[in-house]
Amino acid sequence: MSVDERAAKRELESGILSRVVAGDVDAFEYFVVTYQKRITRFVYTLLRDPGEADGIAQDVFVKAFRALPEFQGQSAFETWLTRIAINAVRDHIRRKRPVVSFSELRAEPDDDGPELPAAFDPADGTSPERDLLSRDIRRRIAEALVSLSPRQRAVFVMKHYEEKSIAEIGEATGLDEGTIKSHLFRAARKLRERLEDLR
């Protein structure tokens, strides 16, 4: 998206936000429809549970709606929404932590995560051994991701799954560059621990 397009979008959204704040609740549907995929995907990448991703994505919009009077418009609405999503996932993980342990998740050897559409399968067309290795590593990446702290997880996903820059991550999380890099480094270290036998 070009700078002009981004500015136009921000202006459009600012106008819609004004309508919502003035009482036009239905106008909020624009934000739901525009960002529901992006937020659901983000939450799903963090939690790896479709049901939870759906429920939390809905909560994110409701929380955003309730907090609209506090939105200053200093960042893009999408960035603000992402921050709400990160907090919602963090709260969810904190609430859930005593109930489901990571060891329980690891106890499922056949769990390869969600079904992979053929178009997204980079192992397609290569040898069966390489396919198997890829799937095994992928499972371990997913496990490593789930073992990260909520903040590390959010930073890692934004950087390596959403391809956000350090500056964009900083805007969404409120963290400074050094802290973000530290989170990324620790996340990579945990990943490496799970991939110790890679070589």
Partner 1 sequence: MSPTSHLTPDEIVERVFPADDRAGAVPEHLATCAACQGSVAALHDAWLLDRGAVSGAVDDLPASFWEAQAAATMASVRASAPADAPVPGVVVFPSRVRGILRHPALALSSLAAALLLVGGLSLLRSGPTAPPVQRAAVTASEVREKTPVAVNDASDDELLVSVDRALEDSSLAGLVVEEEL
**Only segment of 57-65, 76-84, 93-101, 102-110 that touches partner 1 (CB under 8 A):** 57-65
Binding partner 1 by CB under 8 A: which of 48, 90, 106, 151?
A: 48
Would you say 40 or 83 has its CB closer to partner 1?
Answer: 40
Is 77 an interacting residue with respect to partner 1 (CB under 8 A)?
no
- Closest to partner 1 by CB, 98 or 125: 125
SS3 182: helix
Q: What is the 3-state secondary structure (H, E, C) of 119-178?
A: HHCCCCCCCHHHHHHHHHHHHHHHHHHHHCCHHHHHHHHHHHCCCCCHHHHHHHHCCCHH
62 binds partner 1 (CB under 8 A): yes
At its nearest, how many Å lie between partner 1 and the CB of residue 183? Answer: 9
Half-sphere exposure of 10 (CA within 13 A, CB side): 14
- Cα separations (Å) of 143 from 26, 47, 102, 165? 40, 11, 8, 24
Q: Is 195 in the site for partner 1 (CB under 8 A)?
A: yes
Is 54 within 8 Å of 12 (Cβ atoms)?
no
Q: How far apart are CA 163 and CA 188, in angstroms?
A: 16
Is the Cα torsion angle 142, 147, 151, 152 positive or negative in sign?
negative
Minimum distance from residue 98 beta carbon to partner 1 (Å): 26
Q: Residue 146 interacts with partner 1 (CB under 8 A)?
A: no
Of 121-140, binders to partner 1 (CB under 8 A) are: 121-123, 130, 133-138, 140
CA distances from 67 to 36, 60, 95, 176, 179 (A): 17, 10, 22, 24, 27
| Count of residues engaged in binding partner 1, rule: CB under 8 A | 64
Q: 53 or 83, CB closer to partner 1?
A: 53
Minimum separation from the CB atom of position 142 to partner 1 (A): 6
Binding site for partner 1 (CB under 8 A): 19, 22-26, 28-29, 32-33, 36-37, 40-41, 44-45, 48, 50, 53-54, 57-58, 61-62, 65-66, 113-117, 119-123, 130, 133-138, 140-142, 156, 159-161, 165-166, 181, 184-185, 187-189, 191-192, 195-196, 198-199
